[in-house]
Structures are given as C-alpha cells and as structure tokens.
C-alpha cells in the first residue's frame, strides 16, 4: 500500500531531481571545457540522481523492500558524493583551478566512500506502522548522510565567502555572491531534514521547504554562472586608459595656464 505521504514523497523528490538534472546540463553548457563547470555539473547530476532514486524508493517499497533498499543505498551514495563534488568546486574557486589535482580527488572519494558505506548500512527502509514506509533515521546513518555532509557543504560555503570578501572585481564579486547564497540555500535544505527528525509537526512541512530550497540553490548558482566578469587584463587596460586620459587632460590644463 502506498500512503498519501509516500506518494507525496515519491512524486516531489522525482520532480525535484528532474529539475536539478536539467540545471546540471545548463552548468556544463556554459563552458564544457572548464573544470569548475564540469565539477558543478557533476555535483548536481549526482544530486539529481540521489533525489530521483529517493523518490523511486517510496514508489516501489510496497512491492519489494529489497528493491527499495537498493535504491535507498544509491540515494545515500550519490547524495554524499554530490556534497563532496560541490566542496571540490568551491575549493577550486578559492585556491584556483590548478589546485584541483588527483590527490584532492582521491582523498575526497575515499572519505565519501567510507561515509557512504556507514550511511548505507545504518539507513534502510522499513514499515512505518501506519500502512506506509519510512527510512530508519538511525543516528549513525543520519550523522554520515546528513550531518557530516552538511559540514562539507558549510566548509565549501566558507571558502566562497572568503573568496567574496577578497575579490576586488565587482562583477566577479557579484558572481561569487550568487554562489554563496546558493550554497547557503542548500545548507538550509539539509538542516530542514535534521530539524524534521526532532520536531514533531506535519510530515509535509520540513520536506516541502527543504525541496524548495534545493531547487532554488542551484538556480541561484546558475544565475551566478551567467554573470559576466571582466578579466584582470581588461580591468588593468581600462585603468591604464583612464590614467592616460587623466594625464592628457592634466597636460592640456597646464598648457592653458602657461
């Protein structure tokens, strides 16, 4: 039997995942050859797969708990992986694209793999006692899949905030500002699910706000991607031209005085 809440969960997560998948292609479409664009796109592809798989969990649970738990494991793996990929993207923005080396990738993959293993083992689908299905919300599973994941996204946002504060280019600063707001929105969505475990109100409230936040976050970051920035050489050229013009005017004024 599929309860109303299970149906809501299934449909809402799949729709949110599809929207995220569309957005991920737009990130890559901006400039497919840039590594940061590839990371953002990969992060949101993994994010979208995690949401679609989680929607499938509640669509198939009434027919087979085994299949549901397989999709739940995939949800955990891709959800954690997406957070680490987005962290790598923020790391690359702060330290520069040249800092994105294989040592960093392997380290993040190993950490994500360990967390995914612990998360999958301690997070499974079971009956909720009301005719439907739920995830266990096991504390170890929650720490691995939600809390530590949130810490890495928060760390990524801190790097973006530091980049924002140190940027001297107004347009580049505006772009990073959208990234900061986007990451913050994703963090709010993660916290909604953590709060949902401790505050007993309507089961629809926090998941709804979380999914809205998870759609808005990528959209805000995508807006930032399409903000045009001036290169340093262009900025220096303009400053040099302005100085030359100023010196020329000053020379003309001196000639008039003489």
Q: Which DSSP state fits 98?
A: G
pLDDT in tens, 119-159: 999 988 988 877 888 888 788 888 888 888 889 999 999 99
% helix / strand / coil in the chain, to the nearest 5?
80, 0, 15
Q: Which DSSP state fits 146?
A: I
| Percent share of the chain, pLDDT over 70 | 88
Structure tokens at 215: 């759609």
**Residues near 158 by beta carbon (within 8 Å), at least 6 away in sequence:** none
Q: Which DSSP state fits 126?
A: E
b/e string for 67-93 if b means 16 or more Cβ within 10 A? Answer: ebbbbbbbbbbbbbbbbbbbbbbbbbb
Structure pTM? 0.83
pLDDT in tens, 187-211: 999 888 878 877 878 888 999 999 9
Q: What are phi and psi of 125, to 5 degrees?
A: -95, 135
Structure tokens at 228: 């045009």
The CATH architecture annotation of domain 4-227 reads Up-down Bundle (1.20)
Strand partners, 133: 127
Decide if pLDDT at 82 tops 70: yes
pLDDT in tens, 157-168: 999 999 999 988
């Amino acid at each position: 039997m599929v309860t109303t809440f299970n149906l809501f969960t299934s449909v809402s997560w799949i729709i949110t995942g599809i929207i995220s998948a569309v957005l991920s292609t737009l990130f890559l479409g901006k400039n497919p050859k840039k590594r940061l664009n590839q990371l953002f796109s990969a992060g949101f592809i993994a994010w979208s797969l995690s949401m679609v798989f989680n929607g499938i969990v509640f669509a198939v649970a009434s027919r087979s708990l085994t299949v549901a738990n397989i999709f739940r494991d995939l949800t955990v793996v891709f959800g954690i992986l997406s957070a680490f990929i987005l962290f790598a993207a923020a790391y690359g923005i702060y330290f520069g694209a040249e800092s994105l080396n294989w040592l960093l990738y392997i380290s993040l993959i190993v950490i994500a793999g360990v967390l995914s293993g612990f998360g999958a083992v301690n997070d499974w689908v079971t009956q909720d006692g009301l005719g439907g299905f739920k995830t266990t919300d096991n504390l170890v599973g929650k720490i691995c899949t939600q809390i530590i994941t949130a810490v890495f996204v928060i760390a990524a946002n801190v790097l973006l905030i530091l980049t924002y504060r140190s940027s001297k280019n107004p347009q580049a600063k505006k772009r990073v500002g959208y990234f900061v707001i986007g990451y913050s929105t994703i963090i709010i969505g993660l916290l909604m699910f953590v709060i949902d475990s401790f505050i007993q109100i309507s089961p629809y409230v926090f998941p709804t706000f979380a999914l809205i936040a998870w759609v808005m976050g990528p959209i805000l970051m995508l807006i930032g991607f399409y903000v045009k920035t001036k290169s340093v050489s262009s900025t220096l050229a303009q400053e040099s031209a302005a100085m030359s013009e100023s010196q020329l005017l000053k020379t003309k004024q001196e000639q008039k005085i003489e």
